[in-house]
């Protein structure tokens, strides 16, 4: 990515989730209070460690429900690491936009893989649903990268939802799973998480298609306009 493209990326970083304002204030309050030996990279890898912890916790849930609480602890730690790395770099004027963009997305991909594989073998959800979410996450990630390089918009929220809202949702869901793992509907018994995973898959698919249509329409309009200038 060229320096010009990176500048555009930085200028058009879109975060329009419900909690964006509150979260930004909280991060700006926390970041200056961290000791100097804590670096942005340390926070990034703290977020990855938390995702590994969450994945292991889900895998161990089949042995005891209390590991759902450990997964919730991992969600809190992941929020701190994943959200504070960039804020800390900006507060200290230590920005490395291209380096941070590359590292964050690579770490996020590994982290999501740990979470998904943990869930897949947790006994909380049917595997077809969890692999569907993994596939949609892959498509959503590709869409973000394509948008960043094609329309120079780095969008980190969809339909007013970002990873912060997703963490809160999963946190609450983990509490519910302590008490309810399966439900019965007209004589059929299935995992409660199957129903949730199905709804989330629909939400993710709609968000991807909405974003893709918007970006493709913009690119088509811009490039057709060049025809008139030639």
Going from N- to C-terminal start, the domains of the chain cover: 3-228
Which H or E element spans position 188? Answer: strand 188-191
Based on C-alpha coordinates, what's the Rg of the chain?
20
**Which of the two residues, 5 and 209, has the higher pLDDT score?**
209
Point out the least confidently predicted range of 32-41, 113-122, 166-175, 185-194.
Answer: 185-194
Q: Which residues pair with 155 in a beta bridge?
A: 14
Where does residue 186 rank: exposed (0-12), middle (13-18), buried (19+ CB within 10 A)? exposed
Which two three-digit tokens encode residue 113? 């893989």
Q: How far is CA 211 from the centre of its chain?
A: 16
Mean pLDDT for the chain? 85
| pLDDT tens per residue, range 148-165 | 888 877 766 565 667 788
| Band (11; pLDDT cuts 50, 70, 90) | very low
pLDDT of residue 7: 44
pLDDT at 17 over 80: no
Which of 97, 98, 100 has the alpha carbon at shortest distance from 40? 100
**pLDDT at residue 77 in the model:** 95
Q: Is 40 exposed, middle or buried (0-12, 13-18, 19+ CB in 10 A)?
A: buried
Nearest to 193 by CA among 139, 133, 137: 133
The reported pLDDT for the residue numbered 3 is 40
- As given in the structure block, the two tokens for residue 76 are 């809190």
Task: Give 12's pLDDT tier (boundaries 50, 70, 90).
Answer: low
Residue range 21-31: average pLDDT? 85
Between 15 and 174, the higher pLDDT residue: 174
At residue 2, the pLDDT reads 38
The mean pLDDT value for 14-27 works out to: 73
Domain 3-228: which topology?
1.20.120
Structure tokens at 29: 């309050």
Averaged pLDDT, 165-191 = 86
| pLDDT of 6 | 44
What is the pLDDT averaged over residues 119-130? 92
């Amino acid at each position: 990515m060229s320096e010009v493209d990176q500048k555009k990326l930085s200028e058009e970083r879109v975060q329009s989730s419900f909690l964006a304002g509150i979260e930004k204030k909280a991060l700006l309050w926390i970041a200056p209070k961290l000791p100097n030996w804590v670096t942005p990279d340390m926070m990034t890898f703290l977020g990855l460690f938390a995702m590994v912890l969450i994945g292991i916790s889900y895998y161990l849930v089949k042995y005891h429900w209390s590991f759902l609480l450990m997964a919730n602890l991992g969600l809190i730690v992941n929020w701190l690491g994943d959200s504070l790395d960039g804020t800390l770099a900006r507060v200290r004027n230590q920005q490395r936009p291209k380096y941070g963009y590359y590292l964050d997305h690579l770490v996020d991909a590994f982290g999501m893989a740990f979470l998904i594989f943990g869930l897949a073998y947790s006994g909380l959800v049917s595997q077809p649903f969890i692999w569907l979410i993994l596939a949609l996450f892959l498509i959503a990630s590709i869409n973000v990268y394509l948008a960043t390089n094609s329309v120079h918009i780095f969008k980190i929220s969809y339909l007013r939802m970002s990873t912060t809202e997703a963490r809160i949702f999963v946190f609450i869901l983990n509490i519910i799973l302590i008490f309810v793992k399966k439900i019965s509907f007209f004589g059929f018994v299935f995992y409660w998480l199957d129903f949730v995973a199905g709804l989330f898959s629909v939400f993710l698919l709609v968000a991807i298609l909405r974003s893709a249509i918007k970006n493709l329409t913009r690119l088509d309009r811009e490039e057709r306009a060049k025809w008139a200038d030639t």
